Amino acid sequence: MQLTFTRPDDWHLHVRDGAGLQSVISATARCFGRAIIMPNLKPPVVTIADALAYRERIIAALPADSAFQPLMTLYLTDNTRIADIEQLSQTPEVVAVKYYPAGATTNSDAGVTDLRNVWGVLEAMQDAGIPLLIHGEVTASSVDVFDREYMFIRHILDPLLEAFPTLKVVLEHITTSEAVDFVRAGEDRLAATITAHHLLMNRNALFTGGIRPHHYCLPVLKREIHRETLVDAAISGSPRFFLGTDSAPHPRQAKESACGCAGMYSAPIAIELYAEIFEQMNALDKLEAFASFYGPDFYGLPRNSEQITLQKTDWTLPESFNFGEDQVIPLRAGKTIHWQLESAS
């Protein structure tokens, strides 16, 4: 069986920097036309100059014949200036601003400590039509880790949308039924990305046969009922849900340490895993819109004109990939993959 459809885009991606960037960027460029690049480097990407310089490093790391386009973002901090937003609105290479609550995930210590500190910036974004991309979790230690997304929606996102009635918002890598219901009930200016790993796995995957550090991500995997709801949303045909892998490579030793970092590296098999999910649900006819149409439509960008072809065939994913001078363990390492990219043109 073959499946040919419009080249997809990845609306949430981490590619790191330096030698690590050079090792992983081709895994995304092989099949995706564009990707929203996350700004949580060390130091973070906080200015237009930072973003454009990072973009040049990404382009320099691409294969010579690649047409892949990185879409850049700014990291929202307590010190982000309205002038940065005004400059962003005149810079087409930078398409959005990313909001990390301080301490919510990897390299998020520079994130926003209190939304009141960026009220003027959000007003400027609303006026300019610039999307706010949100890691939607509270960070209070009193909140159960499995409830962090729900509490964020209830106590922060809902009031934020009310305060800024035309601000475009993407709630990224959603994990719960509450998030799906909230997006469905919202206005067209609100959308969400869904990862392959949250569609494929529930929280049991963290503990099967012992602690599984390579299945640890933030937001963490949730109960099976939430996974099923995410799948229903992805295959629903609603343009408010679209593909965002949140592929996040880390060196093996950083994952397998006493305090392992969060993130799953799915880029080498991302589109193949989405095809597996949609096939399981007899919804392969819905994959193209989810992967290739709804994202650019929300961002006001043209759909890709090229196509990719996936072949239904079993093959074995390597146990690891080079990551600079280290190794990165991919999702499904050493396992059988049931779809394979055959061509992209």
Is 262 labelled as part of a ligand binding site?
yes
User: Using one digit for the tens of pLDDT, what is the confidence trace for 201-252?
Assistant: 999 999 999 999 999 999 999 999 999 999 999 999 999 999 999 999 999 9
Give the confidence band of 72 by pLDDT, cuts at 50, 70, 90: very high
Q: What is the reported pLDDT for 345? A: 75
- The predicted model gives 131-152 an average pLDDT of 95
Degrees, nearest 5: CA angle 8-67-305: 45
Q: What is the reported pLDDT for 107? A: 64
Q: What is the reported pLDDT for 144? A: 95
User: Using one digit for the tens of pLDDT, what is the confidence trace for 164-193?
Assistant: 999 999 999 999 999 999 999 999 999 999
Is 246 labelled as part of a ligand binding site?
yes
**Res 108 pLDDT > 70:** no
Give the confidence band of 20 by pLDDT, cuts at 50, 70, 90: very high
Is residue 9 among the annotated active site residues? no
Measured distance CA(155)–CA(158) in Å, rounded: 7
Is 197 labelled as part of a ligand binding site?
no
What's the predicted TM-score (pTM) here? 0.96
**Res 262 pLDDT > 80:** yes
**Res 148 pLDDT > 90:** yes
Is 135 labelled as part of a ligand binding site?
yes
Considering the candidates 246, 297, 314, 326, report the single residue annotated as catalytic: 246
Please enumerate, as own/partner, the contacts of 147-153 that have beta carbons within 8 Å and a separation of 24 or more: 148/219, 149/174, 149/175, 149/176, 149/178, 149/179, 149/219, 150/176, 150/178, 150/179, 152/101, 153/178, 153/179, 153/182
**Res 106 pLDDT > 80:** no
Is 218 labelled as part of a ligand binding site?
yes
Spatial contact of 104 and 111, defined as CB atoms under 8 Å apart: yes
- Domain positions in the chain are 7-307
Spatial contact of 196 and 266, defined as CB atoms under 8 Å apart: yes
- The predicted model gives 284-293 an average pLDDT of 98
**Res 109 pLDDT > 80:** no
**Res 94 pLDDT > 90:** yes
Q: What is the reported pLDDT for 316? A: 98
User: Using one digit for the tens of pLDDT, what is the confidence trace for 319-335?
Assistant: 999 999 999 999 999 99
Measured distance CA(28)–CA(25) in Å, rounded: 6
Give the confidence band of 45 by pLDDT, cuts at 50, 70, 90: very high
**Res 341 pLDDT > 80:** yes
Tell me if the domain spanning 7-307 has CATH number 3.30.2350.10: no
